[in-house]
Amino acid sequence: MKITHALFGFALLVLPNSICSAQDGFVDGVDITTTKAPWTLRILGNDLDITNVQAKPDQRSAYFMMTSESAKLNVSVFIEPVDKCKSSEQCRDHVLGLGNPKWGKFEQLSRGKLKDFSYFEFYRPEVDGRPVKMLDMYAEYVSQGYWVDVHISKVLYAKEDHALFEKVINSIIFIPKTGTASTAFDTQLAKAQKAATGWLALWDNTKCRDSYVALSSITRAENTEKSWVDYCTKVTGFLGAKQSRNLVAAAFTRSLPPKTDRPLAILAYHSGFAGRQSMIEIVGLLLEKDGSWSITNYLPQ
């Protein structure tokens, strides 16, 4: 993950083969899920960095935007309940039928299947008059009442790059939230939530200096106490007293070169405040060497 604006701009993620072992609960990949989804979606390898997370209050729907610096790919994943379509093929045809004005003119439209994903793809020589030479792939999957929409794109596309698209889709697996396979994830999620809850109590009570001291060393190295206190005072003053807060989505990764070789997490909460009844809060965390989680950033959306 690349963190911008001193770890408060959102970006979080990925994983080169670094130090953490599978015993830490992290593998060479990205884990993303919503609170009510029956599984965690894992994209193995692929050098992906999470650059944006959005979520809905229903605890079922979320959007994750990722990039790969090495492969020059953009990858986004929507997780949401099945509604307009009931199978992977139906969802593929539904997305294609809806279209998108942002697509503009495209060519070489084709359909296909990779694993359990049904996809369509097309080539765009130009976008807004610029010669981007872009391939877009939309891959759809339906499982247990949920629809996963994966969009992969690459500028300056060459035919041999198609293997990169296939690699992303073929690397996706679904980890059920019951059974031994989910134990490590659940354990780390519980620890991260506990750390976030403790830190948010400082934030909610406008203990801005205390919240700064409790930040990760990475964040404190990139932000002065004054800048953080000013940010905290402004945001908490605008939002007012907290009324509710519920976890709606989570993402985990193994490292963030060159800043850290430690795992990171993003937790998304649906919250209510006196000054704003409904909003999403994003909390970023770093797994320290002693096994505890510390806060890297806080972003109200």
CATH architecture, domain defined by 48-172: 3-Layer(aba) Sandwich (3.40)
Which pLDDT belongs to residue 182? 63
Which pLDDT belongs to residue 23? 38
Q: Residues 38, 191, 46, CA angle at the centre, nearest 5°?
A: 60
- Nearest-angstrom CA–CA distance, 247 and 105: 40
pTM higher than 0.75, yes or no? yes
In the predicted model, what is the mean pLDDT of residues 199-228? 95
- Nearest-angstrom CA–CA distance, 106 and 123: 6
Domain boundary assignment for the chain? 48-172
The pLDDT tens digits for 230-286 are 999 999 999 999 999 999 999 987 655 445 567 788 999 999 999 999 999 999 999
Pairing relationship of beta strands 242-253 and 29-34 according to DSSP bridges: antiparallel
Sorted by sequence, the CB contacts under 8 Å of residue 81 that are 6+ apart come out as: 58, 60, 61, 145, 146, 147
The pLDDT tens digits for 81-128 are 999 899 999 999 999 999 999 999 999 999 999 999 999 999 999 998
Q: Judge if the upstream peptide bond of residue 257 is cis by omega within 30 degrees of 0.
A: no
Mean pLDDT taken over the chain: 86
Which pLDDT belongs to residue 16? 27
Which pLDDT belongs to residue 6? 30
Which pLDDT belongs to residue 30? 87
